[in-house]
Homo-oligomer: A and B are copies of this chain.
């Protein structure tokens, strides 16, 4: 039968044969996180410009002194750097340009304010956006008065604008996430924060974006190690958490 010669099938049998070593569990949890409705993967093309946009999780300490793509300094040390370096490694023939323009503390309206200069003008073919945790968090900490409706409407407008100004752009929307019970993330977050996650997913569907289910990924990762292994404060990923995110992000492209 054909499946004896199907490598994926073979891997499945191997997995069954070797049983559940804990260290082998990560890919499975990412696969599971996508199980409910995985979208078609984005195909990268030659000369594609890939833009990561968002808040501190995307920023991850990047230098703001330069706009040069594909540089360690300008990519930061988070998931954008990890995913970007993987793309450059996998596709040496494609002449990819990877930019990170995340800025710590940003909410969606702040992305909109700098969208022309730090998104559209780069002429990206792939735009990956992770935004929303501050749109909620700052209502608790910084007297920010935006609501989930503000977040929804602002992000909806930003995505419309992006598609209009960059015809054919391939969109990736990351799910805002938090790990409950760690430092900043206390009971006051719920259930309000969940609405931001749902808004992001709704808008991804509406605009034909690939959706990265980071919340599910972090939820499932806690089966393998405690939440603090993946995020020190419930919001910002550790090195392991960033690599986890990059793994989930890379599932969205081929």
Contact = CB atoms under 8 A, between A and B. Distances in A.
A30 interface: yes
Q: Which of A11, A17, A221 has the most CB of B within 10 A?
A: A11
Contact of A1 (B1, B11, B88): B11
Given A5-B30, A77-B72, A94-B23, A89 B13 contact: no
A138 interface: no
Interface stretch (A79-87, A183-191, A198-206): A79-87
A92 interface: yes
Interface stretch (A50-58, A127-135, A141-149, A242-250): A242-250
A83 to B, nearest CB: 11
Contacts of A27: 1-5
Contact of A71 (B26, B28, B70, B239): B239
A94 B229 CA distance: 11
B4 A225 contact: no
A28 B4 contact: yes
Nearest to A2: B24
Interface in A69-128: 70-73, 75, 77-78, 81-82, 84-86, 88-94
A93 B224 contact: yes
A85 B2 contact: no
Contact of A243 (B4, B89, B240): B89
- What is the copy number of this chain in the assembly? 2
A24 B1 contact: yes
B2 A8 contact: no
A22 B18 CA distance: 30
A31 interface: yes
Report which residue of A2, A3, A17 has the largest number of chain B beta carbons within 10 angstroms of its beta carbon: A2
Contact of A77 (B28, B30, B81, B225): B81
Interface of A: 1-8, 11, 13-18, 22-28, 30-31, 60-61, 70-73, 75, 77-78, 81-82, 84-86, 88-94, 221, 224-225, 229, 238-240, 242-244, 247
Given A3-B11, A23-B91, A92-B225, 12 more contacts: A1-B11, A4-B27, A4-B31, A7-B16, A8-B17, A24-B90, A26-B92, A61-B73, A72-B239, A85-B243, A88-B238, A93-B224
